[in-house]
Amino acid sequence: MKTLAILIIFASLQYSIMIIKDKKPDLFEKTECNIWTDPYIQKQMLKEHLNFSSDAASRKKESIQKITDFILKNTCAGGNLLDLGCGPGLYTSIFHDKGYTVTGIDFNKASIEYAKQENQDINYILGDYIESYPEDKFDTAIMIYCDFGTFSDADRDKLLRDIFHSLSKGGKFIFDIFTEELTQSKQVPKDWDYAPTGGFWSENEYLLLVQTFHYPENKAFAEQYNLLSDDKVKHFVVWNRYYNEQEITEVLKTVGFGNVTIHKNITNTNNFTSGNEIFVVAEKD
Ligand X SMILES: C[S@@+](CC[C@H](N)C(=O)[O-])C[C@H]1O[C@@H](n2cnc3c(N)ncnc32)[C@H](O)[C@@H]1O
The residue ranges that bind ligand X (CB under 6 A) are 36, 49, 57-58, 85-87, 90, 105-108, 111, 128-130, 144-145, 147
Cβ distance to ligand X smaller for residue 50 or 210: 50
- For residue 250, count CB atoms less than 10 angstroms from its CB and return exposed for 0-12, middle for 13-18, buried for 19 or more: exposed
State the number of CA atoms in the 13 A half-sphere of 125 facing the CB.
17
Nearest distance, CB of residue 211 and ligand X, angstroms: 21
User: Residue 187: which residues within 8 A CB-CB, separation 6 or more?
Assistant: none
CB 242 within 8 A of CB 138: no
Taking the least distance from each CB to ligand X, the nearer of 207 and 266 is 266
Amino acid letter, residue 191 = D
CB closer to ligand X, 46 vs 233: 46
> Nearer to ligand X by C-beta: 113 or 128?
128
- Encode burial over 91-103: b for 16+ CB neighbours within 10 A, e otherwise: bbbbbbeeebbbb
Which CB sits closer to ligand X, 228 or 279?
279
CA pair distance 20, 18, nearest whole angstrom: 6
Write down the least CB distance from residue 35 to ligand X, Å.
Answer: 8
The amino acid at residue 244 is: N
Which residues, in sequence order, are CB contacts of 280 under 8 Å at separation 6+? 173, 174, 175, 176, 177, 248, 252, 260, 261, 262, 263
CB of 129 to ligand X, least distance (A): 4
- The pair phi, psi for residue 194, each rounded to 5°, is -115, 125
Considering the complex, what minimum distance in angstroms separates the CB of residue 40 from ligand X? 14
Nearest to 236 by CA among 219, 217, 212: 212
Residue nearest to ligand X (CB): 85
Least distance (Å) between residue 71 CB and ligand X: 12
Of 106 and 162, CB closest to ligand X: 106
- DSSP result, 70-92: HHHHTS-SSSEEEEET-TTTTTH
Least gap, CB of 157 to ligand X (angstroms): 14
Instruction: In angstroms, give the least distance from the CB of 131 to ligand X.
Output: 7
Q: Cβ closer to ligand X: 79 or 85?
A: 85
